[in-house]
Structure 1
Amino acid sequence: MTGGRAPEVPAPGGPAGSGRVISEIPTSPVDVPAAVSVLAGDEPARPVWRNQLGGLTFELGGGARRRFVKWAPAGSGLDLAAEARRLAWVQDRTPVPQVLDAGEDDDGAWLLTRALPGRSAVEWATDPRQAVVAVGEGLRAFHEALPVAGCPFSWAAEERLARAEAHRRAGGTDPARWEPEHRALGVERAFSLAAQIPPVEHLVVCHGDACVPNTLVGDDGRWSGHVDLGALGLADRWADLAAATWSTRWNYGPGWERLLLDAYGVAPDEERTRYYRLLWDLGP
């Protein structure tokens, strides 16, 4: 998370069985990295988020000075510089966190952003209907705001599959981390199915992690911005929609997927949804 308050449920990537990076609010003491202490200055650095790769997010200041700093330990594989480049490209086209500082040292890398208004959509768990509509409408607005022509970033299925294959060859594929619907396939069958990439239905600049926690919702119940754009790039819009609808199950329970699609303004596509959820699980 780089904007909004941290949610109180599992973050982007879903439950513990998912193949994606799992995040959570820290429940034990967190050592503040030296770089974060420098950025905080005299203000407290409040840890609000931690993922299984060692990445941390801290909230700094309050009011007009409220900021967030992401920190990734060296060797974690978390590319904050890539996210900074994407945020800079998206800036002024749709509401995303403004980059205030980014850098790295021997210990790790950091990304400092100005906070956006609103709260993570998962904090609306007591009113999931409103939140799901906000996520669907926000994702449609995000896709429509960003120009395909000239986008320098890609999230194409072919490239994602190639990275998954490399991860597999390196011994990193663990079916136990996949969702139950994919574990039964086995590795060979799963990769065989993933090689059958469906034709692109509608090319857009995808968010890259359009799960529920990454949409911010204002006090009026409408979407107010998006965060965590480290994978943003050109792809079929169903790459985002498959993850967004899937994540409604993880955060609100079953029964909300069609409402999100209705809010987005598209009919269900079972084939592409099934494909991009499988690719999501295979990804490193």
Structure 2
Amino acid sequence: MSNKANTQSLLSILRKTHLAEWEATPSIHDTTAWLDDLIHFLFPNNHLPKRNAYEGVLKKNQIDLENLLLSYLEPSGLQIEEVVTEFYNSLESIYHDLRQDAVKIYEYDPAATSVNEVIVSYPGFYAITVYRIANKLSLLQVPMLPRIVSEYAHGKTGIDIHPNATIGVPFMIDHGTGIVIGETTVIGKNVSIYQGVTLGALQVAKSLAEVKRHPTVEDNVIIYARTTILGGNTVIGKNSVIGGSVFLTKSVEPNSQVFNTHQLRITVKETA
């Protein structure tokens, strides 16, 4: 077969594949641009809109979301206008939840000098912000978009929160790099999680897609760095503290303290 024939065969395959798959996929560029604009509207840092511009900025963002959904969804399959209206009607509640998250991080972290510092510079807060936006879209049955924005935040922060997870308010992530929160995880109110924590599944199989595979963490729990908690039947009882580098696959009663008992051995070298 000639090089020209090989090329034509490839082009034919690509056309068929792209038509079948990519027409039902939103633009990554447009999706992240919409998300960035929304977050900058909620938390503008020092780039404040003029007092009479707030309504126009929000309306543009709303139109952008509607156009984004129309670009890859059939209107008959999802009531796009109703979904967009419901999302923006919930934005005030999302904003208040995020303010509580930011205050929780500020009050808990001795290195934080202000709530505003948390909002503009903490990767954990950014990941929570994107999660709460993505979670609302997911609850509204919007396909694809919640996962795309979640993975955008994952790439920027190293924090992987599935948009279908259930997370109460307030919620604190400190440092954050390497955190994984799986799809069916349920997290209560006033929970704090440190870097490297995994809330994952004991086993992975496509047949378990509709099963609760990830743990439940009740109210007022602290989970320290590099701890792994696995399993859909695993429940961390309220007011518990899980120390660093713990591996758990069974439930913990409320008010428990769980620590890794591995003893560190330190000796002093003899000097000549």
Q: By percentage of residues, which structure has more strand?
A: 1
| Shared fold, TM over 0.5 | no
TM range (shorter): under 0.3
Q: By percentage of residues, which structure has more helix?
A: 2
Larger of the two Rg values belongs to structure: 2
TM-score, normalised relative to structure 1: 0.24
- Higher relative contact order (Cα pairs below 8 Å, separated by 6+ residues): 1
